[in-house]
Structure 1
Amino acid sequence: MNFESIKIYKDEDINYNSLTMELTEYGYERCKRISEPGDYSMRGSVIDIFPPTFEGPVRIELSDNKVVSIKSFSIASSETLEEHAMVIILPKLGLYPKKKKMKRVELGEKAPLESFIDIEPDDYVVHVDHGIGIFKGFRKIDFKGEPKDHVVIEYAEGDKLYVPIEEMHLIQKYVAFEKRPPKLYKLGGKAWKNAKEKAKKGIYSLALDLLEVNAMRLKLRGFAFSKDMDWQARFEEKFLFQETPDQARSSKEVKKDMESQKPMDRLLCGDVGYGKTEVALRAAFKAVMDDKQVAILVPTTLLAEQHFITFKERMQDFPIRVEMISRFRTHGEVAEILRDIEDGGADIVIGTHAILRKGVKFKDLGLVIIDEEQRFGVKDKERLKRMKALVDVLTLTATPIPRTLYMSLMGVKDMSIIETPPQDRLPVDVKVLEYDDSEVKKAISREKKRGGQVFFIHNRVEGIEKIATRLLKLVPGVRISVAHGRMYSKELERVMRQFIKGTIDVLVCTVIIESGIDIPNANTLIVNRADRFGLADLYQLKGRVGRFKNKAYAYFMVPKGRVISSESERRLKAIERYRELGSGFKIAMEDMEIRGAGNLLGPQQHGYISAVGFDLYCRMLRDVVNDVKP
């Protein structure tokens, strides 16, 4: 019996009956509707298979016996996550011949085929023992009189390596920071061994630095906050939504850190709208209950305003004073707030980098919450570094951290991850299309009809008023306002407050709304010239809508009839493809995760990632961390 693999290619014919027999032999169970790994179903021209080595099921659609599409999809919503050119089905775990043992896959590490499914011919790959080459497909090679499948990798000077299919766990797709093609290694040469050694030394240095920081923090005697008081439970009961398991776990981890004498330095990572702010609110409340002050540092004035409103509303039933320092405040107001901070009258202070100024003196600062630290300048980061040695620090980020990296850093970096979406949250309906007035009119009219609001993003201050005038002619009777960073602060504050209150239907604005602006009633987003944005920006913008139970729509528009760059096209395809909830964590190897990794590791590690590829870097990091951990 052949237990190697079933390979199914798009645009090729398959034998329906043979596939049924093979799947049964491989240990798969036929059922009406698949629900768990090892299930498969066949309904006419649609075949669903859930291989145990994948995160989710695969749908194969046929026309007669020809495969017309291969898609991975969500069991919960049946929504397509990604399309594939081919799929490899391995036997259900435990059905390999006894001589062949499956490589044990560590928690958080990708199963061999899960990371291989997105590799297509001519993609760059990394073989752990031989280095970077080009994937050229599969080939059957006779082994002891029996044809066996092999992966073909081409190296420098046209040399080819044939890897048996059971050794596919040694191969990963090559991913790094640079967009330029990597250098191919020569088979049998010393260059790859040297590159790995150099990377290992750099990783070793990083791991030691992280351990040293941990050791220093262990020596420092910070403030140990009290266990939760009665008021803490009362405060948390006022949360309007169903707490997700990830939120509960993250909050517990943060509180445990705060109750320790070691100063906290925890990173809280969660997709946009997944409830990081609630975890921060609970931490801030806990700090104030012990008569400590809290500073909340944010990258933009608008986000400061948003947090100010949120914190003030949540704290209103308790004797807690929340203040804000930003350009929305007059000099007189700021001077008064500074006095209150110094004498302890202000409990929670929210603001931009202005909080880090020398003139800001806290009476008894106990907790600093930093939102998107990577968006602050070098000088601000240096001040934050000094601050981290003295008080508890909680850093929030929506930039995804790859799970492989998260698992590799366990034990040397305190991180909490929120991956589960809030209950009843629906995925955003994403469309990438050429600019069309009729589509814009239809989108705005539909949102207006259901009593909602619209973000229209035009990221050029020049011409933004003309866009607003054009929209007014297009959809008469709609209340439209403009917002951008060059406006007078009082005018910008007035417009934003009106939009939050719902007295503006369409806000024509720049990307000042990108970070953290949370308006539940705004559920349609239209982005003009979407080809000019990076993937992370597009993803953050998409996160501004669909925050609650209403169905949300995002239109990413490109100029009509104009050729856009292949890079822009790739980004737009990615944002359209990864529409599923939480896809910031599931974009297997896209720009944002690499950006998240870069923010966490620092620029000095970029070269090592480029030399050996991201997957192998994480694997080496995990091994080094395990070696150096006390």
Structure 2
Amino acid sequence: AVELPGEFSIHGGILDLFPATEADPVRIELFGDEIESIRSFDAESQKRLADLASLSLTIAADKPTATTDNRSPGNGTAPFARFSESLLDSAPANLLVILSDLQQSISEGRLYLQRLANPTGLFGVDHVMARLTTWPSVTVDAIGVDSFETACRFSIEPMERFSGSRRDALTELAEVLNPGDRVLLCCHNEGEQERLRELLVQHDAQFSLGLAERVATTPGMLRRGFRIPARQLIVLSDSELFSRTPARTGTKRRRADSRAIDSFLDLKEGDLVVHISHGIARYRGMKMTQVLDVQEEQLILEFRDGVTVFVPSSLIHLVQKYIGPAKTTPELSRYGGTSWLRKKDQVAEAVSDMATDMLRLQADRNSKPGLICRADSHLQQEFEKAFPFTETPDQLSAISDLKADMENSRPMDRLICGDVGFGKTEVAMRAVFKAVDNGRQVAVLVPTTVLAEQHYRTFSQRMAEFPVTVEMLSRFRTDAEQREILKRLKEGKVDILIGTHRLVSKDVQFPSLGLLVIDEEQKFGVKVKERLKQMRAEVDVLTLTATPIPRTLHMSLLGIRDISSLTTPPRDRVPIETRVGRFDESLVRSAVIRELNRGGQVYFVHNRVHDIHELQMRLNRIVPEATVVIAHGQMPEDELEAAMLAFVGGRADILLATTIIESGLDIPNANTMFIHQADIYGLADLHQLRGRVGRDRHRAYCYLLLEDGRIVTTKATRRLKAIEEYSELGAGFRIAMRDLEIRGAGNILGTEQSGNIAAVGYELYCQLLENAVRSLKKEPLRYQRHCRIDLPVSSFLPDRYVDDQKQKIEIYRRMSQANTLDQLSELETELRDRFGPIPTPARRMLQLRELNLRALSWFVENVHLQNGFAVLRYRNARLMRMLSLLHKD
């Protein structure tokens, strides 16, 4: 299926393609060499979106006009040289060229080419400059230009830096104004423009400085402000005045998490599957069978001792792909044995006990009075308006949920799940500010000192404009500093205290603790978790985790666990370029130099402390231009803090670290990562480590390095290949997320339940859990009902209609799981749209499923032919007699 830009597929008279210039893929239906229709469709669901009258396609490169004199035929690029061209080859004749700091740009360009190991194939600086002279140009230079006759000189001065405080910024602005100066303030949106006008009026009313008359506001984006003395004009941006980052806007996309864990799209021959009635087997492909004149496609399952079972495609709902915790390989079940049924019953009992305990805990919590927060105050609204980004729909939903919890009389205990970089911290900050605004203290508990430092910086910057005191308690603080912080905390002078397990010590006393925020609770020890259980009964608790849980588990836990999931990434997040290869010094150097050339920084992950200093010396030799600092958990506190602050502050180019950076580190300027000996990591670890880069708008790179001479196992190779290839929209992404989601399920449910998931597979486990919760809440159980239909009708998807086996399995499964006539009708429409007119065998499949649904509505359990008549068998004879009496009347 076409899911990503640049992909295309052809099946019959249907051409699917995803042009790079279009927001959605396009489906073209052909009749011979004529186009019958053009329509866009959704990449995730593959369903029609809109009909199109026309489609303009752009090719990857225009016919080149550039010369190739700077390309050598000896480097392997000669056959492709005629396809290489400069962007200038496509420039219009009426182009105006603006050259900013020309000499500096030329010097940087030449330095960049000198640093490259093999610059052949790139246009040289002289070549580019010669091309630029063919158009009119304007040169902007701080020093001056060669031609005095054509120079237009005027003085521009940089503006002073402001503190960033909303309370003080306007006063600071008034202090730098000279008599007669006017100010033009660029606001990143109209809402901020309106708020600034209100602030100016309020400021004048309070201080009588007359700023409102001298400051004009306008929507616009400006990176740095400046002063033009001759014009008595100052131009500023709101982000510069208040030390904020311009907002990201645009439509957000939702990741395909609903299909991530229960899809058959990636089922391959040899994979483990679960037959609900008979247990764990190995999938051996599909086979077309024929009995008399009836054809049907069947799944081939291999059980223990080589027993082979054929499952008709109409019963595919009984088969699930086995998904379990990482490093789990269950034994095949014995077909027809009783051990599988016993195992399933044991898991069902354990799940029921767990659900009972969770419901009891919820009932206990509901019976105790909690802190009741008032509705959002004006200060809370100002705090939320100061957020410089556009919230995702999931963030808004989670914020609404936690506010409702905090304004309720029962103590809050909510879990926020979300992948790295999806905005969990901002959601937590809304709750933290609300608690402080209601006169309560907040404790933020994190598993590592590095994450404590990160949160301390983030919270301090975010709260800087408001009357909130933030402190940190970790081994980065001296004993004297810790004593002073604890003293002020006890006196109620600290609003937010961030720290590691030190926060749960007996000498840490909160006189008015109202909210406890726990980041990655599963990483704490047993004693800390026991203390957290006690605290849960007393205050509001908000737990954050970067291990997302599957949607199916989320739905199963509705009513017994308060969970908010963040599954919507920022739209402008550029996909991370991921590559796998041997440790090659020239590759490392070129990648580091590329990052340094664009002003960025580099992570180098090496998870062995004993030889990390040797690797540092090696990196110093490979890239002597770069400053390398080391960070790992066994370092003295002062050295670790110094290294982290040097990297965060931009004084170090490369952070050589262990997986201590896996959780929470957020440095937008670091957008290249190397993971050394990547084959020893699981998919979840690789995914979360890689999430440290790509947090800005620049293209990010992640290199998974393998040591020369090291033998890589087949499983490790598959892991690395999966994470190299996956994208957020493709089927490979679902493979790579599986380990992470199962880990998330284990974190929420406990290690014992991880064993139960391993025993029966994730999908069946969720079905058992959902039924256990429904049973305890006296709600009707959900189960798949089917009527057995034995009719001499051939029903299957012909290869000429759907030629991809994975797509076939998905369609068979969706058809068998269609529980309403509307769902079946939607599937029929989708088949016509995706694959063209439905052939007879496929149409009969739809008709048999419709008959199945109608028979179920009449409580029929079997339909078959006997002596030329259709025989209907009802669930019980009494019901059949009642229906026959109704028919007589």
TM-score range, shorter chain: 0.7 to 0.9
User: Cα–Cα, structure 1 residues 271 and 250, in superposed 2: closer, same or farther, change >3 Å?
Assistant: same
Give the fraction of aligned pairs with identical amino acids, expressed as a percent.
47
Deviations 1:168-200, CA, capped at 9 Å, x for gaps: 222111122363532322333322222221111
Map Cα deviations across residues 183-228 of structure 1 (whole Å, 9 max, x no partner).
3223333222222211111111111111111111110111111111
Residues 419, 582 of structure 1: 8 Å contact kept: no
Give the alignment partner of residue 599 of structure 2, picking from 451, 454, 468: 451
Letter in 2 for 1:432: V
For residues 335-368 of structure 1, the C-alpha deviation after alignment (integer angstroms, 9 at most, x for no partner) is 1111111111100000000000011110100000
Tell me which amino acid in the other structure corresponds to 1:341: L
Distance 1:154 1:369 in 2: 49
User: How far has the Cα of 1:111 moved from its partner?
Assistant: 10
Pick the aligned partner of 2:664 from 501, 516, 525.
Answer: 516
The amino acid that maps onto 2:615 is: I
Structure 2 equivalent of residue 315 of structure 1: 463
The one-letter amino acid paired with 2:511 is K
Q: 1:37 to 1:197 in 2, by over 3 A?
A: farther
Structure possessing the higher radius of gyration over alpha carbons: 2
Secondary structure in 1 aligned to 2:263? helix
2:364 to 212, 216, 220: 216
Give the stretch that moved more between structures: 491-500 or 31-40.
31-40
Contact 1:50 1:56 in 2 (8 A): no
Matched, 1:327 2:475: yes
Q: What is the CA distance between 1:608 and its match in structure 2?
A: 2.2
Residue 571 of structure 1 is matched in structure 2 by 719
The aligned residue for residue 357 of structure 1 is 505
Which of the residues 398, 403, 411 maps onto 1:255?
403
SS in 2 for 1:115: coil
1:482 counterpart residue number: 630
> Does the 8 A contact of 1:125 with 1:135 survive in 2?
yes
CA positional deviation for 1:589 = 6.3
Counterpart in 2 of 1:136? 284
What is the distance in 1 between the residues matched to 2:366 and 2:767?
27
CA apart distance, 1:522: 0.5
Query: Contact 2:257–2:567 (CA<8 Å) still a contact in 1?
Result: no
Instruction: Note the residue ranges of structure 2 that are not aligned, 5 or more in a row.
Output: 2-8, 48-255, 779-889
**Structure 1 stretch 557-566 or stretch 139-148: which is displaced more?**
139-148
Q: Is the 8 A contact 1:284 1:294 kept in 2?
A: yes
User: Following the alignment from structure 2 to structure 1, what is the Cα–Cα distance between the partners of residues 701 and 399?
Assistant: 31
1:20 to 12, 15, 18: 12
Which letter does structure 2 place at the counterpart of 1:167? Answer: L
- Compared CA separation, residues 367 and 32, structure 1 to 2 (3 A): closer
What does 1:168-317 correspond to in 2, within 5 Å? 168-177=316-325, 179-317=327-465
Whether the 8 Å contact between 1:32 and 1:41 is mirrored in structure 2 is no
Residue 53 and residue 452 in structure 1: after superposition, are their counterparts in 2 closer, same or farther (change >3 A)? closer
Q: What CA distance in whole angstroms lies between the structure 2 residues aligned with 1:626 and 1:424?
A: 41
Q: Work out which structure has the larger RCO, using CA pairs closer than 8 Å and 6 or more positions apart in sequence.
A: 1
Cross-structure match for 2:581: 433
Question: Quick one: distance in 2 between partners of 1:123 and 1:581?
Answer: 23
CA 1:38 to 1:496, structure 2 compared with 1: closer, same or farther past 3 Å? closer
Does structure 1 retain, via aligned residues, the 8 Å contact 2:328–2:758? Answer: no
Q: Which moved more, 1:292-301 or 1:117-126?
A: 117-126
- Comparing 372-381 with 585-594, which one deviates more in the overlay? 585-594
Give the paired residue count.
557
1:165–1:589 CA distance, 2 compared to 1 (3 A): farther
Mean CA deviation greater in 296-305 or 338-347:
338-347
2:646 to 498, 511, 527: 498
Match status 1:348 vs 2:340: no
**In 2, Cα distance between equivalents of 1:588 and 1:115:** 13
Contact 1:435 1:559 in 2 (8 A): yes
Partner secondary structure for residue 590 of structure 1: helix
Alignment RMSD: 3.0
Residue 53 of structure 1 and its aligned partner are, at CA, apart by 11
Match of residue 275 from structure 2: 127
1:83 is matched with none
Following superposition, the deviation at residue 244 of structure 1 comes to 0.8
Classify 1:346/1:593 alpha carbon distance in 2 versus 1 (closer, same or farther; 3 Å): same
Tell me the SS of whatever aligns to 1:116: coil
Q: Verify: 1:421 aligned to 2:569, yes or no.
A: yes
Gaps of 5+ in 1: 1-6, 8-14, 24-28, 58-106
Residue of 148, 167, 171 corresponding to 2:296: 148
8 Å CA contact 1:111–1:169 kept in 2: the answer is no
User: Is 1:370 matched with 2:518?
Assistant: yes
> Is the 2:257–2:550 contact (alpha carbons within 8 Å) kept by the matching residues of 1?
no
Aligned residue number for residue 90 of structure 1: none
Range with greater deviation from structure 2 (507-516 or 175-184):
175-184
Q: Is the 8 A contact 2:416 2:545 kept in 1?
A: yes
Residue pair 1:175, 1:589 contacting (<8 A) in 2 also: no
8 A contact 1:425–1:548 mirrored in 2: yes
Q: Using the TM superposition, name which of 561-570 and 448-457 deviates more.
A: 561-570
1:605 Cα offset (Å): 1.7
Task: Say if 2:394 and 2:568, in contact at 8 Å, map to a contact too.
Answer: yes
1:393: Cα distance to partner? 0.5
Which residue, 529, 553, 557 being the options, matches 1:409?
557
Question: Matches of 2:638 and 2:29 in 1, distance apart?
Answer: 60
Contact 2:628 2:655 in 1 (8 A): yes
The residue type paired with residue 342 of structure 1 is: K
Are residues 451 and 38 of structure 1, via their aligned partners in 2, closer, same or farther at CA, if it must alter by over 3 Å? Answer: closer
Offset, 1:370: 0.5
Identify the range of structure 1 (181-190 vs 255-264) with the bigger mean alpha-carbon deviation. 181-190
Of 609, 620, 623 in structure 2, the residue corresponding to residue 472 of structure 1 is 620
Structure 1 222/130 Cα, relative in aligned 2: closer, same or farther at 3 Å?
same
Deviation at 1:35, TM superposition (A): 7.7
Change (3 A) 1:419 1:182: same
Given that 2:258 and 2:550 are in contact with CA atoms closer than 8 Å, whether structure 1 keeps it comes out as: no
Residue in 2 aligned with 1:67?
none
Within 2, Cα distance between the matches of 1:212 and 1:53?
43
Question: Secondary structure in 2 aligned to 1:157?
Answer: helix
Partner Cα distance (1:481, 1:500) in 2: 11
> Which residue does the alignment assign to 1:610?
758
For residues 566-600 of structure 1, the C-alpha deviation after alignment (integer angstroms, 9 at most, x for no partner) is 33223222321334389998447632211111111
Report the Cα offset of residue 462 of structure 1: 2.2
Is the Cα–Cα contact under 8 Å of residues 435 and 515 in structure 2 kept in the other structure?
Answer: yes
1:462 aligns with 610
2:691 paired residue number: 543
Instruction: Give the direction of change, closer, same or farther, for the CA distance of 1:322–1:333 in structure 2 (3 Å limit).
Output: same
Deviation sequence 1:388-434 (CA, Å, 0-9, x none): 11100000001121121111111111100111112311111111111
- SS of 2:630's equivalent in the other structure is strand
Which whole-Å CA distance do the structure 1 matches of 2:28 and 2:346 have between them? Answer: 46
1:97 corresponds in structure 2 to none
Structure 1 match to 2:186: none
Q: For the structure 1 residues 334 and 35, does the alpha-carbon distance in structure 2 shift closer, same or farther, using more than 3 Å as the test?
A: closer
Counterpart for residue 178 of structure 2: none
Structure 1 residues 331 and 394: alpha-carbon distance in aligned structure 2, compared to 1, 3 A threshold: same
- Deviation of 1:55 after TM superposition, in Å, equals 4.8
- Cα distance between partner residues in 1 of 2:41 and 2:758: 31
Partner of 1:102: none
How much does 1:533 deviate? Answer: 2.2
Q: Secondary structure at the match of 2:12?
A: helix
**Partner SS for 1:187:** coil
Matched, 1:380 2:372: no
